[in-house]
């Protein structure tokens, strides 16, 4: 579910065997919220599952970096855009581990799971139940799936009722044994594997 990045321009550069991504966190967040953000980013590098991506605090010499701010909603740009790159985590609803990792994965170059190129093999999208104006969140993208399977439990997957206008499902799994999805509390094994494949860790 990654950006195709044919020229590599949307990927963060690799130095040696590491992808170093500087970041700053707005003082608008509480100390506890800043800790939550930092712990979520640390999981990319340390723990049972790891990647070669390292999020490090920005220094004065860093030109390209992520800037975590509290604006309206939870959102991020796709891939590296250059310069100060905003990630919005609205203070009263977005500062959770899964959301921080979700937005960080966008910044690394990953789309939502349910828009990947082969999604029609795995889910049905009920467009009639989607809030008007939100349809673009469900449109298929010609993604680079990196040889990884569709993952209902990816932190990048919407839940069954995402953007519903009538409390009816907007996404239905074709696998009848999959009844709950899009509720990941943290990155899945596939999420880690994809980062490692995209950045050749």
Residues placed in the known binding site for Zn(2+): 102, 106, 112
Binding residues: 102, 106, 112
| Long-range pairs for 168-174: beta carbons < 8 A, 24 or more residues apart | 168/126, 168/129, 169/126, 169/129, 170/125, 170/126, 170/129, 170/130, 170/138, 171/114, 171/123, 171/124, 171/125, 171/126, 171/138, 172/123, 172/124, 172/126, 173/122, 173/123, 174/121, 174/122, 174/123, 174/124
């Amino acid at each position: 579910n990654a950006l195709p990045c044919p020229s590599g321009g949307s990927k963060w550069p690799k130095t040696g065997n590491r992808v170093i991504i500087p970041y700053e966190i707005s003082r608008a967040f509480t100390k506890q919220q800043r800790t939550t953000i930092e712990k979520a980013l640390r999981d990319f590098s340390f723990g049972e599952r790891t990647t070669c991506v390292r999020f490090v605090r920005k220094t004065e010499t860093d030109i390209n970096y992520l800037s975590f701010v509290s604006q309206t909603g939870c959102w991020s740009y796709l891939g590296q855009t250059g310069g100060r790159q905003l990630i919005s985590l609205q203070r009263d609803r977005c500062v959770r581990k899964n959301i921080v990792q979700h937005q960080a994965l966008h910044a690394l170059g990953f789309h939502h799971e349910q828009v990947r190129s082969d999604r029609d093999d795995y889910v049905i999208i009920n467009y009639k139940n989607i809030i008007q104006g939100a349809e673009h969140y469900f449109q298929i993208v010609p993604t680079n799936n990196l040889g990884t399977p569709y993952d209902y439990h990816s932190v990048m997957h919407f839940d069954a009722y995402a953007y519903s206008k009538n409390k009816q499902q907007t996404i239905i799994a074709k696998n009848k044994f999959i009844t709950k999805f899009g509720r990941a509390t943290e990155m899945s094994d596939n999420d880690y594997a994809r980062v490692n494949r995209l950045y050749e860790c």
